[in-house]
Structure 1
Amino acid sequence: MSVVKSIDIVVPEDKVYLAGSSVDGQVVLSLNNTLINPVVKVELVGRGYLQWNEDVGADKDYSRDVVCNNKADYINKTKTFKIEGNWLDLGTHTFDFHFTLSTRLPSTFTSRIGYVSYFLQASCSSRELILAKKKKYLLVQGTSGIRKDRLQSKDPFVVEVDKVVVYHCCFQQGRVVLRISLVKNVFCPSENITFTTEIDNQTGKSIKRVVFTLYSNVLYTGFTARSEPRTLEDRNVLLRLEPRMEAMPFEVTRITNIMALPSLLPVSCVSLANKIMEIRYELVGTLYLPWSMSSVVARVPVLIGTIPTADPEESGSGAHPNP
């Protein structure tokens, strides 16, 4: 029978930690017998990793797959608990720990290309022999350098449609214009994205379908086995909304729409500490014309940010090409 009955990490379940905040918890160790010369510790680790394959020379006879990857260490802290008398009696023992997160950590992130993850790992050992281990993952929300006054600004961030469809049919002629206006400049995770849509329908037909899609555009940066830099762009649908509406002929229709953001998101346009990836968001409105195969599209960049904590902490981590 093992000396260690169990080891566990106690932290709030499903809590999202803001970069720059504190992680407080306990390591709970249960022993079946007395343990001499124990080493009980807990580690806080944050890592990022990317990997994808590229087809080199696809237009030639000697095409081959090239593996591109990148990695990063964001945080690595260890707390070794002081044990009086250098021994622990049988029963349950509790050890408190406290870690402070750097303000420049990226958000927890997972995709088919890579991940950014954070976890706590508790261990108990004796005479360099590990007797028990326990790992628990954390959710971390990164922050950006956006000032608090900008987050509270009510000035609209308006981007008009870059495409106008002109409709000609029989003796009728008209145009359809789609405009999207955001209620503020920057949105935080778990907030609602509120935006106003204006449809100027100068045709003789009703328009009944418009679809809004929020995309995340990720630019990954990696290296080949020869340390050659490579990039890969990946675009994914984050949210989709199709409201009920009807834009009557020769009228301007205005509607207000709301999209609820997830509680955990990487911030916009900020390299993830070691430049392994950059993330941008874009809201796309597509107005479908029932009498035509054409559509009207409006694109608006959306900024996702958070209020950074005081006293920013410099991070010394960096990206490294895989050897």
Structure 2
Amino acid sequence: METVSVFVPIPKVTKLELAFDDEVYLAGESINGKVILELNESLFLYSVKLKVAGKGFVEWIGESDENLDYSRKIHCSNKEDYFHHIFTLWGAVLKTCAPEVATPLAKLFQYTCNTDIDRTKCKIAQECHVHKKQNKSNPAKYRSISLLIIISKLLEDHDAEGLEQVLHAGPHIFHFSYKLDDALPSSFKGSHGRIRYYVRAFCTATEGTLAQVEKDVNVQETFNLNLDPSNKVSTSCEGFWDCSVSDAICTLCLQFPLILAAEKDISYWCWNFPGIAVSVTVDKSGFVPGEDIIITSEINNRTSRNLRLISYSVGTEIKYKAFVQEAFCDHYREFIEKLELKKVQAVIEAPPRQVTKILGSLQLPKPMFISDMSRCKIISMSYELQVTIPIPGHRVMVTASAPIKIGTTPIHFPL
């Protein structure tokens, strides 16, 4: 996933970084990390804050109506906001302690307003000299600042943040932890949409935001494949899926082996020649991100050529869902995009006119969108496993494919 970093430097800030304990977080887990701030001089700050947010959007330009004899472009878009929180890591003393000090301060302010107490003395500042740099014995290397009582300053300015505080030179580390909601979709980036989670750390002072850094968080949605309705055992299942027999069986029994079959002959003008027949067996059809798919291929090579290449791939069909306003009403629109998520090629040796058994594997990427997309209303996704064998010299290939499901809890096989 892409990481976006933004750093707005000032001379005294030499380093501002975000570091996470893990690369991928499951929905419901806590994001643990730290903010690293390094100063080459003392700096007056209000606070060091952290913003954690998650949002998704889809957008594309489409046709108004394909049945019309003219073309009119329309803008299709949709968005979702999952969470947005800002909290303080350091500073903002008065705001942080507001529940404890609000009541006594309110009584004190009210008392001073109702009596003839002279409040002008509260505006008499105390002069303080702060060293800037280099030789401390040189008076020219100091600057004078005036200090007022915090309570009087709060009464005068009604400052919600409280006064600035000094953060001394050197490295400073602020640890944080944020618990994610249980119902969050996975991080995703496509050509027409994106689901993004990010953490932003920033330093605030009187002048506003002095420095900030932003980093994406990879979130993996959770889904238990054992609870999926399609994993129910059916009386029509006989211990395997056979995608060449019935598509209905392919929607049941994720724990049973999946069998793919395909056959391709070679055609040249009006002549047909024997080609390739392939039978592929996968131990199951439900997987988790990062898992290895073990694929056994039985190749019946009826040609006169050696087969030297086989490829395993996982394709995905992404469906973007949006609304467009036409004639003062919203119309639902969809955009379907097909992509090859991951592909692995292997060199094999399949002699002519023989049956050869090949054992291969394909590791799924991490994180991935799960097959159950009920938690995301703007993007849905389905997956397909493909095994392809090209026939040398004929520009022909045979492909066996079948749908698979992605979850986060592996399938438990019955004893």
Q: Does 1:244 align with 2:321?
A: no
Give the residue type in structure 1 aligned to 2:399: V
Change (3 A) 1:56 1:133: same
Question: Which 5+ residue runs of structure 1 have no aligned equivalent?
Answer: 309-323
Q: Does 1:302 align with 2:404?
A: yes
Tell me the distance in 2 between the aligned counterparts of 1:303 and 1:89.
55
Tell me the distance in 1 between the aligned counterparts of 2:306 and 2:260.
19
Match of 1:72 among 67, 71, 80: 80
Change (3 A) 1:61 1:21: same
Q: Does 1:144 align with 2:223?
A: yes
Tell me the distance in 2 between the aligned counterparts of 1:247 and 1:3.
66
Tell me the distance in 1 between the aligned counterparts of 2:397 and 2:224.
37
Larger radius of gyration: 2
Q: Does 1:52 align with 2:60?
A: yes
Change (3 A) 1:225 1:91: farther
Corresponding residue of 2:184: 105
Give the residue type in structure 2 aligned to 1:219: K
- Cα distance, 1:295 vs. partner? 4.2
Task: State the TM-score, normalizing by the size of structure 2.
Answer: 0.62
Moved over 6 A (4+): 1-4, 167-173
Question: Which 5+ residue runs of structure 2 have no aligned equivalent?
Answer: 1-8, 95-161, 232-252, 411-415
Change (3 A) 1:65 1:288: same
Q: Residue deviations 1:140-163, cap 9 Å, x none?
A: 22222324998xx995431332x5
Corresponding residue of 1:222: 322
Tell me the distance in 2 between the aligned counterparts of 1:112 and 1:171.
43
Change (3 A) 1:34 1:171: closer
- Cα distance, 1:72 vs. partner? 1.2
Equivalent positions of 1:1-323 (< 5 A) are: 5=13, 8-12=16-20, 15-29=23-37, 32=41, 35=44, 38-57=46-65, 60-81=68-89, 83=91, 84=93, 86=162, 87-91=164-168, 93-126=172-205, 129-147=208-226, 155-161=255-261, 163-165=262-264, 176-201=276-301, 203=302, 205-206=304-305, 208=307, 209-226=309-326, 227-267=330-370, 269-271=371-373, 273-289=375-391, 295-307=397-409
Give the residue type in structure 1 aligned to 2:215: K
Q: Residue deviations 1:169-203, cap 9 Å, x none?
A: 999985743222112333222222211112234x3
- Cα distance, 1:298 vs. partner? 1.2
Change (3 A) 1:11 1:295: closer
Tell me the distance in 2 between the aligned counterparts of 1:173 and 1:3.
76
Judging by fraction of residues, say which structure has more strand: 1
Moved more, 46-55 or 291-300: 291-300
Q: Residue deviations 1:259-308, cap 9 Å, x none?
A: 222232222x2226232111121122233445866543311223222139
Change (3 A) 1:104 1:171: closer
- Cα distance, 1:68 vs. partner? 1.1
Corresponding residue of 2:129: none
Tell me the distance in 2 between the aligned counterparts of 1:148 and 1:229.
30
**Relative CO higher for 1 or 2, CA cutoff 8 Å, sep ≥ 6?**
1
Give the residue type in structure 1 aligned to 2:62: E
Tell me the distance in 2 between the aligned counterparts of 1:215 and 1:172.
31
Tell me the distance in 2 between the aligned counterparts of 1:246 and 1:29.
57
- Cα distance, 1:34 vs. partner? 5.6
Change (3 A) 1:133 1:243: closer
What RMSD, in angstroms, separates the aligned Cα atoms of the two structures?
3.7
Give the residue type in structure 1 aligned to 2:87: K
Among the aligned pairs, what percent are the same residue? 27
- Cα distance, 1:63 vs. partner? 0.6
Judging by fraction of residues, say which structure has more helix: 2
Q: Count the aligned residue pairs.
A: 302
Contact 1:159 1:299 in 2 (8 A): no
Contact 1:6 1:132 in 2 (8 A): no
